[in-house]
Amino acid sequence: MLSPTQDALTSAERRAGIGLASIFALRMLGLFLILPVFSVFAKGLPSGNNVALVGLAIGAYGLTQTFLQIAYGAASDRFGRKPVIVFGLILFALGSFVAAFSHDIYGIIAGRVLQGAGAISAAVTALAADLTREQHLTKTMAMIGSSIGLVFALSMVGAPLLYAGIGMSGIFALTGVLSLLAIFVVLKVVPEAPAVPRQPGWSSFREVLRNPLLLRMNFGVFTLHLVQTAMWVLLPSALVARGGLAVGEHWKVYLPAVLLSFVIMVPAIIAAEKRGWMKLVFNAAIGLLLAVQLGFAFLGNGLLTLAFWLFLFFVAFNVLEATQPSLISRTAPPHAKGAALGIYNTTQSLGLFLGGVMGGYLAKNAGSIAVWMVCAALAAGWLVVGLSMKMPPPRSASRPQKSL
């Protein structure tokens, strides 16, 4: 039985969770802020009417991350988490400024590629795991995972307003400035990580790739983010056509859906941790994701119905975003945690990229129902995998904390 002191987050854990969640959110802000407005802006650029180039400018960010997440994760195992995170943030800032000062679509693509080269997700989540005791790891990952949904909703609200006020160049420059400020957060706010044993990178990768539980969770995060991206190929148009809601008003659905989802997500995470219901909560969230895809396909007529399914999606998404990195961290050996999270984040980025490609292709050639049904099939396959998983136990009841 844990004492009340052991059962509460320490000040160092709170600082780590809040600081790292803000850094993670910044990266997603760089991705999400351009989604509602970039296609409109691009029409005024040379070659901006080329839809393929516009899509490349949007997707290049995720594509670059796909190739670099593993390298960043392994580098953080060898050289330390903070130096790798700072290096990635510098690259992200440089890419933002390149895009801000570009006058054609090709320059913006180059900037987006450089932004994506700051692939710090694995290092950030590995540092969160280093700084958090096992019994609180899911809470910290919940802070990081929930930041994605919240930033997405805020981006849908803020992007049109920012675009009207400072333009697309201003949006890119703003993300660059925020990235530089995030370096201060890493160095001055986030506590130092404890030392961990080092091991040659290829040995770590072999160990990670032979672990069946880690492979199952990699499949899970790939599915989750493929489904998420494919959904947003269709959802804005569905809110207009089926819900009668103008694009500029979509934030009125997104923001409440995200905020209300936290009301369900937080008790679910607490139950998973304190009552030992991790497998039940995890698979219930996958089942809910499956139900949402079928709901959008067959029961998504009318604004209130669409808003209901979107709310349930954010509940499932936030629970899964919180629990999966925690399970990865508990399963991976301490010396290979960065490598494990690098592979995990690589499959996440690949899902983001392929979700947009698949969603657009199927919607154009087979109709929206095909998109929802393929997403439902993937979620069903993930549920089968999840039901056969054996959840890893916490390694220890506590972890020494660095004095402040």
pLDDT tens profile 237-265: 788 888 888 877 877 888 888 889 888 88
117 token code pair = 């080269």
pLDDT at 3 (0 to 100): 47
In a domain, 279, yes or no: yes
Q: Which of 129, 127, 162 is nearest to 32 (CA)?
A: 162
The answer to whether 332 touches 340, Cβ cutoff 8 Å, is: yes
Place of tokens 């960010």: 61
- Please count the structural domains in the chain: 1
Is the pLDDT at 156 greater than 90? The verdict is no
Q: Write the CATH number for 125.
A: 1.20.1250.20
In a domain, 217, yes or no: yes
In a domain, 229, yes or no: yes
In a domain, 154, yes or no: yes
In a domain, 78, yes or no: yes
Is the pLDDT at 26 greater than 70? The verdict is yes
Q: What is the tens place of the pLDDT at every residue in 100-130?
A: 999 888 999 999 899 989 888 778 877 887 8
- Give 133's DSSP letter: -
Is the pLDDT at 198 greater than 60? The verdict is no
In a domain, 404, yes or no: no
* Range in 10-14, 82-86, 343-347 the model is least confident about: 10-14
Is the pLDDT at 200 greater than 50? The verdict is no
Res. 394 pLDDT band, cuts 50 70 90: low
∠ CA 179-72-389, nearest 5°, is: 110
pLDDT at 295 (0 to 100): 95
pLDDT at 220 (0 to 100): 93
In sequence order, which residues have a C-beta less than 8 Å from that of residue 162 and are 6 or more positions away?
33, 170, 171, 174
The whole domain housing 102 covers: 11-387
What percent of the chain has a predicted confidence (pLDDT) above 90? Answer: 22
Res. 379 pLDDT band, cuts 50 70 90: very high
Tell me the whole-structure pTM to 2 decimals: 0.75
Res. 149 pLDDT band, cuts 50 70 90: low
pLDDT at 197 (0 to 100): 54
In a domain, 402, yes or no: no
Is the pLDDT at 75 greater than 80? The verdict is yes
pLDDT at 51 (0 to 100): 64
pLDDT at 403 (0 to 100): 33
More confidently predicted of 292 and 404: 292
pLDDT at 242 (0 to 100): 86
3-state secondary structure 146-204: HHHHHHHHHHHHHHHHHHHHHHHHHHHHHHHHHHHHHHHHHHHHCCCCCCCCCCCHHHH
Is the pLDDT at 397 greater than 50? The verdict is no
Is the pLDDT at 180 greater than 80? The verdict is yes
More confidently predicted of 214 and 30: 214
The mean pLDDT value for 283-305 works out to: 93
pLDDT at 212 (0 to 100): 83
- Give 43's DSSP letter: T
In sequence order, which residues have a C-beta less than 8 Å from that of residue 272 and are 6 or more positions away?
138, 278, 280, 281, 282, 323
Is the pLDDT at 71 greater than 90? The verdict is no
* Whole-angstrom distance, CA of residue 303 vs CA of residue 326: 35
Cα four-point dihedral sign 397, 83, 221, 228? positive
* Whole-angstrom distance, CA of residue 336 vs CA of residue 345: 14
- Give 275's DSSP letter: S
In a domain, 81, yes or no: yes
In sequence order, which residues have a C-beta less than 8 Å from that of residue 317 and are 6 or more positions away?
148, 149, 224, 228, 261, 289
More confidently predicted of 245 and 357: 245
* Whole-angstrom distance, CA of residue 340 vs CA of residue 232: 28
